[in-house]
Amino acid sequence: MKIIGMISTKGGIGKTQLSQNLAVLFNENEGKAVIFDMDPQQTCLKWAMRRESETPFVIPATLDDLDNKLDVARDEKIQYVIIDTPPRRHDPILTAVVERSDLIITPIRPEPKYLDGLEDTWPEIENSKSAIAVLNAIPADASSDGDDLHEFVAETCPDLLIASARLHYRKAVWQPDIAGKTVSELPQNLKYMKAKAETLALFKQIKKEVK
């Protein structure tokens, strides 16, 4: 069983949405995946309640019952556990997730308040087995296509791997959430093609990194 921790000390950066998209794709392509929702806001859990599909299962978890629930997941032959964490500095939950995860994913958005947050997030994840930054919510009309964001992350955290797949801010990314869906579950339609292609490319890279 592989454990993926989704960590950032800034809220609104895309951790939950990314957790949902990856969990659905793992279920579609790799077998069983679940999300452990450790964020007190329980946004993932609320998303699951809006879904028509029963999978992926979203399970609320706390620091006290995390190990027990991970043991149950192993017994149930779950292949991937994605853990969505609260956006707080110096939170014991972050330490516990880093210690147990095979891969840490930290999304980063190209806005000053999120860029500042990377400096707070890095000390929380620098001792992880493996960590990767995902460039998220890049404006769809950005002339640099995220190159300036990539440069900032590389200079701020030289030891942090940066995903080559980049996610742009598109209606097709956030709109499915309203109905409890994800990008990959959208119809095969020309207007969704770019969002679906970007999300799938990221999934393939994450799958490779976590193995």
Please give the average per-residue pLDDT across 101-115, as a whole number.
Answer: 95
**pLDDT of res. 121:** 96
Are the C-beta atoms of residues 105 and 58 closer than 8 Å to each other?
no
The string of pLDDT tens digits covering residues 23-47 is 999 999 877 999 999 999 999 999 9
Residue 99 has pLDDT above 90, yes or no: yes
Confidence tier at 143 by pLDDT (50, 70, 90): low
- The residue among 12 and 140 whose pLDDT is bigger is 12
Between CA 100 and CA 164 the distance in angstroms is 25
Q: Quick one: CA dihedral 27, 206, 121, 100, positive or negative?
A: positive
Q: What's the token pair of residue 186?
A: 């959208």
The span from the CA of 152 to the CA of 60, in Å, is 34
The answer on pLDDT for 173 being more than 90 is no
